[in-house]
Chains A and B, each alone.
Chain A
Amino acid sequence: MKIDHSLPLEYSTEENRLKILGFWIFLGAEIMLFGTLFASYFTLVDRIGSGPSGKEIFEITPVLIETIVLLTSSFTIGLGVHAMRIGRKKAMMSFFVITLLLGLVFLGVEIFEFIHYVHIGAGLQTSAFTAILLSTLGTHGLHVTFGLFWGLFILLQVKKRGLTPETANKSFIFSLYWHFLDVVWIFIFSFVYLKGMM
C-alpha cells in the first residue's frame, strides 16, 4: 500500500481517500433520511388527534441538557481529531473517551425524556404527532447509540494498534458522523422543540 506522507494520516492512502469520499456520500443519504423525517414531522405536527400537542409536553430543562452535552461532545471530538493530527495518541484517546461519555449522558437524558412522555400519555401509539415525534427523535437517538458502540470499537483499536493510516481513517470518519449527528440535533432543537414550545 502506498502511503503519501504529505497528507494527514487519515488521507494518506488511496483506500483511505475512497472511504472518506464514500462516507460523505453516505452522509448525503443521511441528510435525505432526516430530511424526509422532518418533512413528515411538519406535515403531522398539528395532527394530534385526542393526544397532547408539543406545547403541552415539551420541557426545556432536559432538552437544554441534551443540547449542551451534545454540542460539547462535538467540540471534544474535534479536539480529539486535532490531537490525532499532531500524533498525540493519549490526548486523542482521552478526548474520544470524553466524547463518548457525553454521548452516553445525552442518551441517558433522552431515555428519561421518552419515559416521561409515555408516562404523561404521549406514547408511540397516541397520535400521528407523537408517532412522528418519537420516531424522529428515536432515529437520531439510535444513531447516537450506534455511534457509542462504533466509537468504542475504534478506541479499542487505537489503543491496541496505535495511530496507523487505518485507525486514523476510522477515527476521522467517526468524527464526521458525530458532527453530523450534532447538526441534525441542532435542527431538532430549533424546529421541533423551540418552535413547538413557542
Chain B
Amino acid sequence: MDFFDRFAIPHPSLAIYASMVAIVLTVIAIVVGLTYFKKWGYLWREWLTTVDHKRIGIMYLISALLMLFRGGVDALMMRAQLAVPENTLLDAQHYNEVFTTHGVVMILFMAMPFIMALMNFVVPLQIGARDVAFPRLNALSFWLFFFGAMLFNISFVVGGSPDAGWTSYFPLAGNEFSTSVGTNYYMIAIQIAGIGTLMTGINFITTILKMRAPGMTLMKMPMFTWSSLIANVIIVFAFPVLTVALAMGTLDRLFGTHFFTTNNGGMDMLWANLFWVWGHPEVYILILPAFGIYSEVISTFARRNLYGYKSMVASMVIISLLSFLVWVHHFFTMGQGALTNSIFSITTMAIAVPTGVKIFNWLFTLYKGKIEITTPMLYALLFIPLFTIGGVTGVMLGMSAADYQYHNTMFLVAHFHMVIIPGVVFAMLAGLTYYWPKMFGFMLNERIGKITAWTIGISTLVAFMPMFFTGLDGQARRMYTYSESTGFGPLNMVSFVGAIGLAIGFILLVYNVYYSIRYASRDISADPWDARTLEWATHSPVPEYNFAIVPHVKSEEALWDAKKKRHILFQGNYEKIHMPNNSGVPFIMGSIFFIWGFALVFSLWPLAIIATIGILACMAHRSMEIDHGRYISVKEIEETETKLRGAK
C-alpha cells in the first residue's frame, strides 16, 4: 500500500471526490463518443498530428477556453468563501490551494494559450505566409503546453494541489513548509509548458522576420504582427530565467539542494528575484499582443488608419526594454535599501509613459473616425477606461514608499485584475469574436455578443472596484476569512455578485457559440468586417495553403488599399505549393513529457529514466528522418479555389 499512498489527496473533501467522479465520467464519455461515432481516425489525422498553424491555433483556443472555466470555478469558490465574514465553505488549506491554482491556470494556461491561439492563427495570415517557419516545432510547442497544463490540472485529484501561491515564494514553497507533492507539480508542469512557449518564441520571431510577403517591410507590418514580434522577443529573453528558477526549485524539492532554503547558505530572495525577472516581462508578453488586437479592432471599426503607427512601434520597443528593469517593484517591502527601491520606482513609473502613448494613439484614432460599434469594438471601447483604472493604480503601487500600505492587500489584487481582465481578457474576447468568421466560416451573433460584452464589462467593475477600498482599509490578500468587526463584509458581498456576473457573462459566451453554430448564416464573404489587413484577403474558412498566390504588398493596410486604391494583391498564376507533412511525433513526445513530469513529481526514478530515454529517442528519430514535405498541385488549388469562391 505504501507505494500507492503517495497518490492520495492530503486534504480530501466532498468537492474533490465529486470532481474525481466527474473527471472519470467525462473521460469515459469522450472515449465512448469517439468510438461510437468512429472519430478516432479523424481526430488523429486532422488534429493530433496536424502541423497547420490554423488548426494549432484552434486547439490553443479550445484549451484556453477550457482552462478559463477551470480557473473561473476556482475564482467563484474564492469569492463565495469571502462573501460573508467567518465563512466555512473552504478551510484555510483549500483556500490556499484554490488561489494558487487559480493564478497559475489563469496566467499560464488560459491567458498564454489564448494569445498563442490568436498569434498562431493570425500572424502567418497577416504577413501573407503559408505557415510558420518551423511547423513541426509549432506542433511540439502546443503539445508541450497542453501536456504541461494537463499535468498541472491532475494535481488536485492525484497527490494534492500546490498551495504556495502562483508566485510560489520560498521558503514557504520548500519541503519544510509545503510537504505535499503539490509544489512539485508547480515546478515541473510549468517547466514543460514553458519550454513549449520558448520554442514558440523562436518560431515566431523567425517567421515574422523571414517569411513576410514580398513588399511588406518591417514598417508595413500590421500592428498585431508587430506586437507579436515584440512579445516573442520578450519570451525568448524572459523564459530561460524561469527555466533556471524552476530547475533550482525542483532540485531543492527533489534533491535537497540549498538554493532557496534558509540554511547552509541558501537564499530565499533569489527565488523572488528570478521569479519576477521573468514575471514582470511575462505580464507584458500578455498585454502587448492584446494591445495589438485592440489596434486592429479600433482601426477597422473607426474606419481609419491607426494613428501614430511609428510611435506605437516605438512605445512597444521601449516597453519591452523597460519590462526587464522593473521587477523589484513586486517586493519593495522585502528588504532592499531605499536607494534600490527608488530606482525601481522610477523605472516602474517610466513604463506607464509608453503605455499612455498607446492609449492616446487609440483615442486619436477614434477621434473623427466613423465609429461602428460591433462586439469586438465594444470590448475595445470598454477596455480603454477600465484599463486606465488598472494602470493608474499600478503607478500608485509603483511608488515604493506608498507600496508599504498597498502591498499584499486587496488593492494589489484589484490592480492586477483591472489590468489583466480589461487588458488581456477583453482583447482575447474581442479577437475571438473578430476572427471567428475567419476560423469557422460564420459569425457569432452580434446581439448576444454585445450583451455578453456589457455583462462582462460591468461585472468586472462590480467585482474588482470594491477591492480597492477594502484593500486600502487593510484587507490582506490570500486570507481565507476575516472577522465581522473588520466591516469588510458588505463590499466583499458586492465582489461576489460581480463574480457571479462574470460567470454569467462567460456562460453567455458559450451560449453564443452554440446559438451561432445552429443559426448563423454560412454565407459570409471573406471580409465580413470590411477590414484592412491581409488575413481578410483570403477565403473564410481559410484553405490549408492560406493564399493560392502569394500577395504583393505596397502599404501598411494592404487589403484596404487594394479595395480603395486598387492596389493589386495577387498577380501571376497558380504554382504548385510546398507544404509540410503531418507528424505524430510532437504529440507522442508531449505525452512522454507528461509521463516524465509525473514521474518526477512523485520521484518515480525508473519511470523518469525510461521517459527521458523516450524523449531522446523521439529526438533521434526526428534527426534521422527524411521528410521533404509534399506538394499541392495546381489542379488541386484550382479545385479548392473554385469551390471556396462558389460558397461565398
Known contacts A37-B244, A40-B270, A127 near B206 by CB under 8 Å:
no
Contact assessment for A125 and B255 in the assembled complex, using a CB-CB cutoff below 8 Å: yes
Contact assessment for A44 and B251 in the assembled complex, using a CB-CB cutoff below 8 Å: no
Contact assessment for B264 and A36 in the assembled complex, using a CB-CB cutoff below 8 Å: no
Choose among A49, A149, A153, A157 the residue that contacts B265 (Cβ–Cβ < 8 A). Answer: A49
Choose among B241, B257, B261 the residue that contacts A36 (Cβ–Cβ < 8 A). Answer: B241
Residues of B201-230 whose CB lies within 8 A of A: 201-203, 205-206, 209-211
Question: What sequence of 0s and 1s flags, for each residue 264-279 of chain B, a beta carbon within 8 Å of any chain A beta carbon?
Answer: 1111001000100100
Known contacts A1-B628, A22-B206, A157-B624, A128 near B616 by CB under 8 Å:
no
Contact assessment for A21 and B210 in the assembled complex, using a CB-CB cutoff below 8 Å: yes
Contact assessment for A150 and B202 in the assembled complex, using a CB-CB cutoff below 8 Å: no
In the bound complex, residues from chain B placing their C-beta under 8 Å from that of A33 are 240, 243-244
Interface size on A, residues (CB 8 A): 41
Choose among A21, A51, A124, A149 the residue that contacts B209 (Cβ–Cβ < 8 A). Answer: A21
A1 to B263, CA, bound (A): 60
Chain A residue with Cβ nearest B263: A49
B543 in contact (CB, < 8 A): no
In the bound complex, residues from chain B placing their C-beta under 8 Å from that of A22 are 133-134, 202-203, 206
Range for the number of chain B residues in contact with chain A: 35 or more
Known contacts A44-B265, A44-B267, A157-B624, A132 near B259 by CB under 8 Å:
yes
Contact assessment for B265 and A29 in the assembled complex, using a CB-CB cutoff below 8 Å: no
A194 in contact (CB, < 8 A): no
Contact assessment for A18 and B236 in the assembled complex, using a CB-CB cutoff below 8 Å: no
Choose among B251, B264, B578 the residue that contacts A135 (Cβ–Cβ < 8 A). Answer: B251
A27 to B247, CA, bound (A): 19
For residue B403, give the distance in angstroms from its CB to the closest CB of chain A. 24
In the bound complex, residues from chain B placing their C-beta under 8 Å from that of A67 are none
A22 to B247, CA, bound (A): 24
In the bound complex, residues from chain A placing their C-beta under 8 Å from that of B211 are 18
In the bound complex, residues from chain B placing their C-beta under 8 Å from that of A153 are 620, 623-624
A32 in contact (CB, < 8 A): yes
Known contacts A22-B202, A29-B198, A51 near B264 by CB under 8 Å:
yes
In the bound complex, residues from chain A placing their C-beta under 8 Å from that of B133 are 18, 22
Contact assessment for B266 and A29 in the assembled complex, using a CB-CB cutoff below 8 Å: no
Contact assessment for A47 and B203 in the assembled complex, using a CB-CB cutoff below 8 Å: no
A129 in contact (CB, < 8 A): yes
* B contact face: mostly helix, strand, loop, or mixed: helix
A86 to B265, CA, bound (A): 54
Choose among B201, B206, B267 the residue that contacts A29 (Cβ–Cβ < 8 A). Answer: B201
In the bound complex, residues from chain A placing their C-beta under 8 Å from that of B628 are 1
Known contacts A29-B202, A49-B258, A131-B259, A43 near B267 by CB under 8 Å:
yes
For residue B244, give the distance in angstroms from its CB to the closest CB of chain A. 4
Contact assessment for B265 and A129 in the assembled complex, using a CB-CB cutoff below 8 Å: yes
Residues of B255-303 whose CB lies within 8 A of A: 255-259, 261, 263-267, 270, 274, 277
A72 to B265, CA, bound (A): 37
Residues of B239-256 whose CB lies within 8 A of A: 239-241, 243-245, 247-248, 251, 255-256
In the bound complex, residues from chain B placing their C-beta under 8 Å from that of A35 are 240
In the bound complex, residues from chain B placing their C-beta under 8 Å from that of A36 are 240-241, 244-245, 274, 277
A132 to B626, CA, bound (A): 40
Known contacts A18-B134, A29-B239, A128-B259, A154 near B623 by CB under 8 Å:
yes
Known contacts A37-B244, A132-B259, A28 near B237 by CB under 8 Å:
yes
Residues of A86-140 whose CB lies within 8 A of B: 124-129, 131-132, 135
Chain B residue with Cβ nearest A46: B265
A147 to B627, CA, bound (A): 23
Contact assessment for B251 and A157 in the assembled complex, using a CB-CB cutoff below 8 Å: no
In the bound complex, residues from chain B placing their C-beta under 8 Å from that of A48 are 265
In the bound complex, residues from chain B placing their C-beta under 8 Å from that of A125 are 255-258
In the bound complex, residues from chain A placing their C-beta under 8 Å from that of B198 are 29
In the bound complex, residues from chain A placing their C-beta under 8 Å from that of B205 are 25
Residues of B47-106 whose CB lies within 8 A of A: none
Contact assessment for B257 and A124 in the assembled complex, using a CB-CB cutoff below 8 Å: yes
A125 to B254, CA, bound (A): 11
A61 in contact (CB, < 8 A): no
Question: What sequence of 0s and 1s flags, for each residue 32-73 of chain A, a beta carbon within 8 Å of any chain B beta carbon?
Answer: 110111001001100111110000000000000000000000
A113 to B358, CA, bound (A): 55
Known contacts A25-B205, A25-B206, A154-B623, A128 near B266 by CB under 8 Å:
yes
Contact assessment for A124 and B251 in the assembled complex, using a CB-CB cutoff below 8 Å: yes
A26 in contact (CB, < 8 A): yes
In the bound complex, residues from chain B placing their C-beta under 8 Å from that of A37 are 244
Contact assessment for B244 and A131 in the assembled complex, using a CB-CB cutoff below 8 Å: no
Chain B residue with Cβ nearest A166: B626
A62 to B48, CA, bound (A): 49
A25 to B616, CA, bound (A): 22
Question: What sequence of 0s and 1s flags, for each residue 142-175 of chain A, a beta carbon within 8 Å of any chain B beta carbon?
Answer: 0000000110011011000000001000100000
For residue B589, give the distance in angstroms from its CB to the closest CB of chain A. 16
For residue A133, give the distance in angstroms from its CB to the closest CB of chain B. 11
What are 18 inter-chain pairs, A to B, with CB distance below 8 A? A19-B134, A22-B134, A29-B198, A29-B237, A33-B244, A36-B274, A40-B270, A40-B274, A125-B256, A127-B265, A128-B258, A128-B267, A129-B265, A131-B248, A131-B257, A135-B247, A149-B620, A157-B623
| Chain B positions near chain A (C-beta within 8 angstroms) | 133-134, 198, 201-203, 205-206, 209-211, 236-241, 243-245, 247-248, 251, 255-259, 261, 263-267, 270, 274, 277, 578, 616, 620, 623-624, 626, 628
Task: Report, nearest first, the 10 A-B pairs whose CB atoms are least far apart.
Answer: A47-B265, A49-B264, A128-B265, A32-B240, A33-B240, A49-B265, A131-B257, A36-B244, A22-B206, A127-B265
For the A-B complex with A32-B238, A47-B265 known, give 13 more contacts whose Cβ atoms are closer than 8 Å: A18-B211, A19-B134, A21-B206, A22-B202, A25-B236, A36-B240, A36-B241, A40-B248, A48-B265, A49-B266, A50-B264, A51-B264, A125-B257
